[in-house]
Amino acid sequence: MARYTILDIQAMKSKNEKISVMTAYDATSARIAESAGIPLLLVGDTLGMVVQGHTSTIPVTLDHMIYHTQIVNRVTSKAFIIGDMPFMTATTDAHETLKNAARLMQEGGASCIKLEGGEFIAPTIAKIVQAGIPVMAHIGLTPQSVGQFGGFKVQGRDLGRARQLLADARAVQEAGAFSVVLELVPTPLATLITEQLTIPTIGIGAGAGCSGQVQVFHDVLGLFDGFIPRHTKRYADVGALIEEALTNYHADVQTGAFPTDANGFTMDATVIEALREEL
């Protein structure tokens, strides 16, 4: 089949079919996720933390995102690829944001772009959508603005902030976003927002009432040992298995147990004999 489209994603919402989304940053993660049947792959700026080793997503550049999106696009054929707009590439300057979004689509091969922000960014979303670029919005805890929130904290628990998140959700929908990520939003509020919207909501730390869920590849597989977010479920401890395998490899090299004759290649003994005689 061809790649999933925004029409397929919106159809999932109308049929009450839950939407699974997984991050992918390289050929290995993209191939595995697509083979597992996951329809949407997010090339997230979280690569700054789980791939590049930073403590936040802020250092990630547009060129970084284009590079990683190219890889994911190259090795997949069915997945809908979401390209994340990194820090300060999606602002209220619609012209500049449109130019950056176009690069992520044209050079990176993204199926759509994702950008953070609610009401204030809605006019920019409208301009991008009018230009023919599909947009996935992102509200609630927006990691690129984490400094303003005082850390990775749940958003919308008080009445004023809850009202603002509902207004943000409605604004991005009216601007033309085909979907919206709800991050670290209380489950009851995320459920209410989902009920009020016609577009799919993709939750991360927002409960089961959302239209779908997105998780970080490294979190669900135990490949990131910095911390385990409450919103994730570790489905395997692949990191521990890898460490054990590499420890055993290191020990075998040191003891001479690896490589064996079975790991090498033979040649005509007369060639070696001839070389030895020449020496």
What DSSP line would sit under 56-69, residue for residue?
SSTT--HHHHHHHH
Q: Is the pLDDT of residue 151 over 70?
A: no
The set of catalytic residues is: 183
> What digits encode the pLDDT tens for the residues 60-107?
999 999 999 999 999 999 999 999 999 999 988 889 999 999 999 999
Residue 137 confidence (pLDDT): 98
Angstrom distance (rounded) from CA 127 to CA 175: 8
CA distances from 34 to 54, 64, 226 (A): 27, 22, 26
Q: Return d(Cα 33, Cα 266) in angstroms, integer.
A: 39
For residue 88, is it left (φ>0), alpha (ψ between -120 and 50) or beta? left
pLDDT tens profile 211-240 = 999 999 999 999 987 667 888 999 999 999
pLDDT at residue 43 tops 60: yes
Asked if pLDDT for residue 139 goes beyond 60, the answer is yes
* pLDDT band at residue 108 using 50, 70 and 90 as cut-offs: very high
Radius of gyration of the chain (CA): 23
At CA 79, angle to CA 73 and CA 85, rounded to 5? Answer: 60
Q: For each of the domains in the chain, give its residue range(s) and CATH number, in order of start.
A: 6-236 (3.20.20.60), 241-278 (no CATH)
Return the higher-pLDDT residue of 164 and 148.
164
pLDDT given at position 141: 86
pLDDT higher than 70, residue 152:
no
Q: Is the predicted pLDDT of residue 258 greater than 80, yes or no?
A: yes
Comparing C-alpha atoms, which of 82, 89, 107 is closest to residue 25? 82
Q: Report whether pLDDT(112) > 90.
A: yes
Q: What predicted TM-score, i.e. pTM, was given to this entire model?
A: 0.93
